[in-house]
Amino acid sequence: MPLTFAAPTDKALPLTLLAPEALEEGLAALPKAAADWARGAGFASKAGEVLLLPGEGGAPAGALVGLGDSKARARGRFLAAAARRRLPEGIFAVASAPEGTDLTEFALGWLLEGYRFTRYKSAAAPKAALVAPEGVDAALIEATAEAEALVRDLINTPAADMGPAELEAAVRALGEKHGAKVAATTGAKLLEENFPMIHAVGRAATEARAPRLIELTWGSEGPALTLVGKGVCFDTGGLDLKPAASMGLMKKDMGGAANVLGLASLIMATGQKIRLRVLIPAVENAVSADSFRPQDVLTARNGLTVEINNTDAEGRLVLADALALAAEDPAALTISMATLTGAARVALGPDLAPFYASEDALATALSAAAARVADPVWRLPFHEPYETLIEPGIADLDNAPKGGMAGSITAALFLRRFAPERYMHFDIYGWTATAAPARPVGGAGQGWRALFAALPELLG
């Protein structure tokens, strides 16, 4: 479904955005009849609250929309977007808003409130449409909403319809749309081209769901940026089989790939002067006679050996080969995104995306951008003393250190052994478990909008 603004029209109904702390001031600026109507109706400007203003013949003449108080706005994102589903069919335009209102966030939230995943059944979207508010970059907001919809659609699609081959097809479709080049190394060719760990993790799947490394390249000028996304299309845990409760959401284990594709989509749609490279190791961690085993020792692309102490810690293995490839031709910045560890969820919960950065300046720029665009992130450290935890007795590295301590950090340290020097890593959840305005239950983008906003500083 298109997530776009309505064309400007002089017939658009006015929306007046109001905040509780300036409610009386806002009402005083309205015609007396409208202000009296609002007071009589008890309009309090709660987040997403709507009050239709009566016009001639009973038709609405406009609406008041609540932004919520400062406490509510600090605790949530896109809260006013809930107004869209409470408005009747029609075209609306922002007529006024309190000083300091972030109209870009309001407009993006409005579009994202219209997202529905409709591959398997129809779902009615809100019928109220919005003219892009004055002063916002409408094209950028629409492209952002389209990219987020791509992320959500990819994650929401069940693994039966989003295996490695289907993920490759999605990358090829995105590449064709924007004139990018896409190539894939599949099955036994992974061994011929020296991607042994991608092959090992994915070799137990059927031939139709064979492992592969997908590569998209785009752009001929500007700094080089490499994005690496974990594309585990379903994760049984391998021979260290997950319990049913832990396997239930594993269609989202390719959420890292989906998120880097969202970022790539926006970079290409907006014509950024960037030489973009996207690497996605796409596998299904299945169970068969050919599954890789606990205590196996694998040799990665860069020659490091890895002892397998848990086959359910497979994401870092496939990422390692892709990062090793990236390190052979280092970009100005390399970023990996992955639904990697439960430890990250224990530390920060589902809504806050932890990230790691090789330089303080990268972290500072990203954190500032995240606050600007309402895409929360939080830095965790590449804590050097924990390096010994990922070093077993018989190989260079351990894919699943014993003890369970600092699981997200040790995973990040593992990946850093393969990555280029200038590197950032995101350990995301990729899922909204509780519905909120503009964020329905299901697949979710995390961190990629903040990265896009920070690109000038990250690549400068």
Give a yes or no: residue 7 inside a domain: no
Q: How confident is the model at residue 1 (pLDDT cuts 50, 70, 90)?
A: low
Domain boundary among 84, 106, 136: 136
Same domain, yes or no: 302 and 335: yes
Task: Judge if 63 and 208 occupy the same domain.
Answer: no
Looking at 136, 157, 189, which one is the last position of a domain?
A: 136
Domain contains 284 = yes
Report the pLDDT averaged over residues 291-306. 98
Percentage of the residues of the chain whose pLDDT score is greater than 70: 100
Range(s) of the domain holding residue 364: 143-459
> What Å distances lie between residue 372 and 15, 77, 100, 209, CA to CA?
24, 12, 13, 40
**Whether residue 230 sits in one domain with residue 84:** no
Q: Which of 77, 104, 136 is the last residue of a domain?
A: 136
- Asked whether residue 101 falls in the same domain as residue 242, the answer is no
Tell me, yes or no, whether 63 and 151 share the same domain: no
> 431-451: per-residue pLDDT in tens?
999 999 999 999 999 999 999
The reported pLDDT for the residue numbered 373 is 97
pLDDT digits (tens, 9 = 90+) for 162-217: 999 999 999 999 999 999 999 999 999 999 999 999 999 999 999 999 999 999 99
Residue 80 is assigned to a structural domain of this protein: yes
Catalytic residues: 242, 316
Average pLDDT over residues 54-73: 93
pLDDT at res. 2: 75
- Total number of domains in the chain: 2
pLDDT at 404: 83
Residue 3 lies in a domain: no
- The 10s digit of each residue's pLDDT in 354-396 is 999 999 999 999 999 999 999 999 999 999 999 999 998 899 9
In a domain, 128, yes or no: yes
Q: What is the mean pLDDT of the chain?
A: 97
Predicted structure pTM score: 0.97
Q: What is the CATH number of the domain that holds 198?
A: 3.40.630.10
Pair (426, 327) in one structural domain: yes
Percent of the chain scoring above 90 in pLDDT: 96
Q: Tell me, yes or no, whether 2 lies in a domain.
A: no
Does residue 113 sit in the same domain as residue 164?
no
Q: Could you tell me if 47 and 195 lie in one domain? A: no
Q: Are residues 25 and 74 in the same domain?
A: yes
Confidence of residue 333 (pLDDT cuts 50, 70, 90): very high
* Residue 345 sits in the same domain as residue 370: yes
Q: Do residue 265 and residue 319 come from a single domain?
A: yes
In a domain, 8, yes or no: no
Q: Is the same domain home to 306 and 352?
A: yes
Average pLDDT of span 343-362: 97
* pLDDT tens digits along 46-61: 999 999 999 888 889 9
